[in-house]
Amino acid sequence: MKLYDGGKILIGLVVFLAFVLFPFYNNIGKVNAKPEPKTDTPEIQEWVKINGKKECVESKEFMQREHMQLLNNWRDAVVRDMYRVYVSTSSGKQFNMSLQNGCLHCHSNKKKFCDECHNYMAVKPYCFDCHIQPMEKEENKS
Amino acid sequence: MSLDRRQFLKIAGISSILGFGASVASATHTLWQKGLEPPQIEPNKDALIAKRWAMVVDMSKFKTEEDISKVTSACHQTHNVPDFRNPDGTVDEKFEIKWIWQEPYERTFPGAENQFMSEHIKEMPFLVFCNHCDNPPCVRVCPTKATFKLSNGVTMQDEHRCIGCRFCMAACPYGSRSFNWTDPRKALNAATENKAYPTRTKGVVEKCTFCTERLQFGKMPACVEAAPKDAMFFGDIEDPNSEVRKIVATQLTIRRKPELGTGPAVYYVIGGSDHA
Amino acid sequence: MLEKAFEGGKSYWAWLMFLGALALIGVYYYIQQFQFGLGLTGLNRDVSWGLYIGQFTFLVGVAASAVMLVIPYYLHDFKKFGKILILGEFLAISAVTMCILFIFVDMGQPMRIMNVVLHPTLNSVMFWDSVVLSGYLAINLLVGWVTLGADRKGIAPPKWIRFFIYLSIPWAVSIHTVTAFLYAGLPARHFWLSAVMAARFLASAFAAGPALLIILALIVRKVTKFDPGKEPIQAVGKIVTYAMFANVFLLGLEFFTAFYSGIPGHSLPFKYLYVGLDGHTELVPLMWTSTILAVLALVMLVFPSIRKKEGMLALACGSLFISLWIDKGFGLIIGGFVPNPFEEVHPYWPTMPEVLITLGVWAIGFLVLSMLYKIAVSVRERMAGIEIEH
């Protein structure tokens, strides 16, 4: 059976495969370590001293899955509806709904915490375009 | 089954549209989920409450240039408002972002000056900023409700939602709004910025918010705190016992461009005197 | 049918390559603008809308002008417009595409465009503008596809398409009325705060759009075997003439209100545009060029002896198109922002990247137009001689 325009089709197929398989062959040999976010900032250690255990707004499992949605909800509650306090479903404790002054108060190590998972997942949330990230303790501020 | 090219293209086209629509629907399904509601969220117990926040400004209490610059600096410092300068040190009027600044009388109230008025009065400084109007044209035109009215009368800005169309800037009769023509962090100093407040990013509009983030924690707006004694009053004009209500009810005050029906909430005292 | 857009001679492909190159330059500068911010344009804190929004405003008018062909043909049985109709509809598609692109390049946060859909705001004219423009694009795509497809088969289009054709008539009027409402309802801008704004917009649209269509039809006749006919072009010429007179008259009304009332808010922008204000005369030469070209066009159009000569008609249409492009695509927008709410003059002039992005968008629009016209002309050339009743 004759393949009409066979030359063009084959070239097209090769170009197509080159594009589609790029992420795979481009990363051959690169080892992507499992993300290990660190929760040992001085602020968290202070909290442990006072409260006896590490405690976030919600459980680790919840946060891993839902922190994006939680932050979106906080954003609308604070900016649009004038609420400020969040009552944790896991602990009943009250927290100030704030990324910059709440979450990042304890998690003051963006590179070793937030970026660990975000880099691994190749996600670039643009929160930090506006929300000032805490100064890294050891490195110079950018 | 035999399919000719036109039928194939039609099916491909409709599938793409349906597929795109479905992906949009699935990406936004979280929006259809309920947001947070009380009792899971509460206002801060220290929050200042009002039915209608308003400001009274008595320029006669500003005696020196420094009195005025203390106020504008307090606001701009608190809110990380960038300071764009030309190489020669003058303000870059294109990229300039300002929430509160001073204008002479003849610019604050254009048309109110007359040819026999002294230069001294024409040049008299007035502090200008967003009027948080009752009937704001900016809120009326915003296509995404990125600028909107809070229930306490403040015309608020949601920087997360703003698409940067600048319709609000065209609509504002007072020139209160600034646009981020480039990344504001270029004109901010990381050493002196207020770490408790975010910056903005390029492509969004910003303006005075009556310090909503301070009101939520029981603090007065930064400008009012930095102003000389009795120069700026901030309170609930619907409360008959508030300072602002008493001044507006008893003294001569004017507002900017009242003929436009916007209903500004910023009142300028005329004549100056001692208040309450 | 669609493959006809990719079948052409050397000159056709050379033209597409040229437009493609211009478009790519525009894309390159848009990427620069996207990374730096809109500060790459000449816009400033006082003049916050400029060339991009001006082009958008002008092109909505061009898009709406298809209705000037649809009304005579479908409502008044003016069969002479049979051949030229598809050119008008395809011009509308190309114009709306450019409108959407100009809005996109003007946005500070284009990635958030979906916020307009996710948070519909019924009191915002801009929201309604996005609704009616999308609808108009959809209607024209549908009507163009179905009628041309039917032509290709040598049969009349299906009866249900009539509903959409009739719908396109008030819809065309609505897109430009809503665009005028963007301006006419702002208490801040006295230059725009006029009840005749929508009427002015429609009049200038019905002059500029058909004027462009005449020029395009003449080009099509020259480079292809498709001839829309001498009489239809003359009929469109008459429409252009009346619309331009209406437009100039309405502009005159604005001048009267501004200067007879003497209210500075209304008259100062006119002063800035036509004689200068506070020593700023940047726009004066441009506005007078627009005026002279308008008068020239009207003189050529009003005398049938001149208008009947197609060469002169083309010149008149070109002069008119440029005149209205300056007036609506530039002067109108800047005039609204100067002087600013403090009665100061902060002038605006586009930068080179801004102009190249604008040219890039026009190139994309003409790419769409050329390819659509190629399809239409190919179908017509094939069916030449066979008159089809719609």
Domain CATH for B190: 3.30.70.20
C347 CA to centre of own chain: 25
Q: Look up the domain containing A107 and give its range.
A: 8-130
Give residue B45's pLDDT: 92
Say if B52 falls within a structural domain. Answer: no
Residue C369 predicted with pLDDT over 70:
yes
Q: Is the pLDDT of residue C389 over 50?
A: no
Residue C14 has, within 13 A of its CA and on its CB side, a CA count of 3
pLDDT score recorded for residue B2: 81
The yes-or-no verdict on residue B180 having pLDDT over 50 is yes
Sheet hosting strand B232-236, strand order edge to edge: B232-236, B53-57, B266-269, B253-254
Q: Whole-number mean pLDDT of chain C?
A: 94
Helix (H) and strand (E) counts in chain B: 10, 11
Confidence (pLDDT) at A53: 85
Contact A80 B160 (CB under 8 A): no
Q: Is the pLDDT of residue A51 over 90?
A: no
3-state secondary structure A10-65: HHHHHHHHHHHCHHHHHCCCCCCCCCCCCCCCHHHHHHHHHHCCCCCCCCHHHHHH
The pLDDT of residue C309 is above 90: yes
Residues above pLDDT 70, as percent of chain A:
94
Chain C partners of B169 at a C-beta cutoff of 8 Å?
A: 48
Rg (CA), chain A: 23
Q: What is the mean pLDDT of residues B84-96?
A: 93
β partners of residue B101: B128
Q: How many domains does chain B have?
A: 1
Helices (H), ranges, chain C: 10-36, 51-64, 67-70, 85-106, 115-118, 125-153, 161-184, 197-223, 230-261, 264-274, 284-302, 304-307, 310-326, 332-337, 352-382
Domain that holds residue B93: 63-222
Chain C residues near residue B207 by CB distance under 8 angstroms: none
Residues of chain B contacting residue A77, judged by C-beta atoms under 8 Å apart: 35-36, 41
DSSP conformational letter for C251: H
The answer to the question of residue B146 being in a domain is yes
Task: Read off the tokens for C78.
Answer: 């003016």
Q: Find chains touching chain C: ≥3 CB pairs under 8 Å.
A: B
Averaged pLDDT for residues C288-300: 97
- The β-bridge relationship of strands B125-129 and B266-269 is unpaired
Q: What is the pLDDT of residue B276?
A: 42
Crossing angle of helices C51-64 and C85-106, in 10° steps, is 160
Is A135 a domain residue?
no
The residues pairing with B233 across neighbouring beta strands, listed in sequence order, are: B56
Residues from chain B that touch C185, judged by Cβ atoms under 8 A, are: 141
Confidence label for A28 from pLDDT (cuts 50, 70 and 90) = confident
- Interface size, chain B vs chain C, as Cβ–Cβ contacts under 8 Å: 146
Residue among B47, B198, B200 minimizing CB distance to A100 = B198
CA–CA dist C40, C27 (Å, integer): 14
How confident is residue A140, by pLDDT bands cut at 50, 70 and 90? very low
Contacts of C56 (CB under 8 A, 6+ apart): C98, C99, C102, C103, C106
| A window 107-126, beta carbon within 8 A of B | 126
CA dihedral angle for residue A124, residue A129, residue A134, residue A140, rounded to 10 degrees: 90
Tallying the residues shown for chain A, one arrives at: 142
pLDDT in tens, C153-166: 889 999 999 999 99
Asked if residue A133 lies in contact with residue A101, where contact means CB atoms within 8 angstroms, the answer is no
Report residue C3's pLDDT band, with 50, 70 and 90 as the boundaries: confident
Number of structural domains, chain A? Answer: 1
Window from B30-34, B95-99, C95-99, C338-342 with minimum mean pLDDT: B30-34
Instruction: Supply angle C-alpha B13, B14, B20, rounded to 5.
Output: 90
Contact A82/B at CB under 8 A: yes
- Which of A101, A129, A131 best probes binding to B when mutated, by most B CB atoms within 10 angstroms? A129
Is residue A138 one of the residues assigned to a domain?
Answer: no
User: What is the model's pLDDT at position A3?
Assistant: 80
Other Cβ atoms within 10 Å of C324 Cβ, number: 27
State the average pLDDT over residues C185-213: 95
**Residue B271 pLDDT:** 79
Q: What is the mean pLDDT of residues C328-343?
A: 95
B94 vs C: CB within 8 A = yes
Residue C386 reports pLDDT greater than 60: no
- Partner residue opposite A84 with nearest CB, options B44, B80, B196: B44
Domain borders along chain C are: 2-382
Q: Give the per-residue pLDDT at C390.
A: 42
CATH class of C2-382: mainly alpha
Residues C143 and C168: beta-carbon distance below 8 Å? yes
Looking at residue A139, its pLDDT comes to: 43
pLDDT at B223 exceeding the cut of 90: yes
pLDDT digits (tens, 9 = 90+) for B97-144: 999 999 999 999 998 988 899 998 899 999 999 999 999 999 999 999
How many CB contacts within 8 angstroms connect chain A with chain B?
Answer: 73
Distance of CA B64 to the CA centre of its chain: 26
Q: Is residue B187 a part of any domain in this protein?
A: yes
Look-up of token digits 């299906």: C158
> How much of chain C, in percent, has pLDDT values that exceed 90?
89
Q: Is the pLDDT of residue B73 over 80?
A: yes
Q: Is residue A129 within 8 angstroms of chain B, CB to CB?
A: yes
Cα gap C26→C357, rounded to integer Å: 4
Residue A137 has pLDDT above 50, yes or no: yes
Confidence of residue B28 (pLDDT cuts 50, 70, 90): low
Residue B168, in any domain of the structure = yes
Is residue A106 domain-resident?
Answer: yes
Is position A17 within any domain? yes
Instruction: Please indicate, yes or no, if residue A142 is contained in any of the structural domains.
Output: no
> Do the chains contact at C43 and B181, CB–CB below 8 Å?
yes
Find the range with the poorest average confidence among A104-118, B22-36, B178-192, C255-269. Answer: B22-36
% pLDDT > 90, chain A: 41
pLDDT in tens, A74-118: 999 999 999 999 999 988 889 999 999 999 988 988 888 998 888
B 177-206 → C contacts, CB under 8 A: 178-183, 202-205
For chain A, the chains sharing at least 3 beta-carbon pairs closer than 8 angstroms are B
Residue C153 or residue C319, greater confidence: C319
Mark yes or no for CB contact B24/C114 under 8 Å.
yes
Q: What pTM did the predictor assign?
A: 0.92
**Average pLDDT of the residues in B65-75:** 96
How far apart, in Å, are the Cα atoms of C381 and each of B238, C9, C225?
75, 15, 6
